[in-house]
């Protein structure tokens, strides 16, 4: 996720959101949406920590190696935390290294804060440089949702990325758009608009990723209730996950990523 998705384009795209104000009432509903978009744009959001390692190795030297790459938006970089061990990638790597299989995880990230599904093609090219990854985890969709992109269009770009990675013999796990109704940085009724948009994106992502040969983890369904109940799962900006939030996501993704790692080792 990233605040830039809200801060940049959602105000421009409020023409679509204004149509949704029928659910809230009249022109007054559109005015409230516009006001909330301006407020969201003016907030200060967490930025990527340049000191965080985008490449790291975790696990015993004698363990079976696993090349794990993260693609997508700010979530793939760990925006919102300042320690590698607190990032989503760091927590996943430690879980895989300490689990029953005890893998030696060579972790890298090609994610870029603010990315949408249209940016995945460039990231796939970067992910496939050098040694092929065994498992690729794609985390994207929040910025598509907050800028009100068409779900079918976003899903098509995601599917293309999954196919390219699968053709390169990498296992692919997609974490769908998270529950944007849980964020505190956006007030109602705009929060309901982006939440609705996020659910549409997630549904389209699920169908497209499965058809392209990927595995899907519905982050909204599996972790949304936790994020809604506990404000501590978000960092200081009320939008990006905190260390606890990334931990929740890591445990939700772990079964699929571990299964993908096992499948990769058999090929």
For the chain, what are the domain ranges? Answer: 55-265
DSSP state of 188: T
- pLDDT tens digits along 7-32: 445 444 544 544 444 444 444 444 44
Residue 267 has a pLDDT of 60
Other CB atoms within 10 A of residue 52 CB: 19
DSSP string for residues in 175-235: E----GGG-SSS-TTHHHHHHHHHHHHHHHHHHHHHHTT-EEE-HHHHHHHHHHH-GGGB-
Per-residue pLDDT band for 137 (boundaries 50, 70, 90) equals very high
- With a cut of 60, say whether residue 209 has pLDDT above it: yes
- With a cut of 90, say whether residue 192 has pLDDT above it: yes
Per-residue pLDDT band for 249 (boundaries 50, 70, 90) equals very high
- pLDDT tens digits along 35-73: 444 444 545 657 766 556 578 999 999 999 999 999 999
Q: Which CATH architecture has domain 55-265?
A: 3-Layer(aba) Sandwich (3.40)
């Amino acid at each position: 996720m990233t605040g830039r998705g809200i801060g940049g384009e959602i105000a421009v795209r409020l023409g679509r959101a204004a149509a949704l104000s029928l659910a809230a009432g009249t022109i007054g509903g559109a005015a409230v949406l516009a006001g909330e978009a301006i407020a969201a744009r003016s907030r200060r959001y967490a930025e990527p920590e340049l000191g965080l390692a985008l490449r790291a190795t975790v696990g015993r030297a004698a363990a079976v190696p696993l090349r794990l790459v993260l693609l997508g938006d700010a979530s793939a970089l760990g925006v919102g935390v300042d320690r590698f061990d607190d990032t989503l990638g760091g927590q996943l790597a430690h879980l895989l290294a300490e689990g029953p299989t005890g893998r030696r995880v060579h972790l890298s990230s090609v994610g870029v804060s603010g990315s949408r599904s249209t940016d995945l093609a460039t990231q796939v090219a970067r992910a496939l440089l050098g040694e092929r990854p065994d498992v690729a985890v794609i985390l994207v969709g929040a910025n598509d949702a907050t800028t009100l992109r068409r779900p079918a269009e976003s899903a098509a770009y995601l599917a293309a990325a999954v196919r390219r990675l699968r053709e390169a013999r990498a296992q692919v796990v997609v974490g769908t758009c998270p529950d944007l109704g849980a964020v505190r940085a956006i007030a109602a009724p705009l929060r309901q608009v982006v939440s609705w948009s996020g659910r549409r994106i997630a549904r389209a992502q699920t169908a497209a990723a499965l058809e392209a040969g990927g595995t899907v983890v519905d982050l909204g369904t599996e972790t949304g209730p936790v994020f809604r109940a506990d404000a501590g799962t978000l960092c200081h900006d009320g939008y990006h996950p905190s260390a606890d939030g990334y931990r929740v996501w890591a445990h939700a993704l772990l079964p699929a990523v571990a299964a993908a790692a096992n499948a990769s080792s058999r090929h």
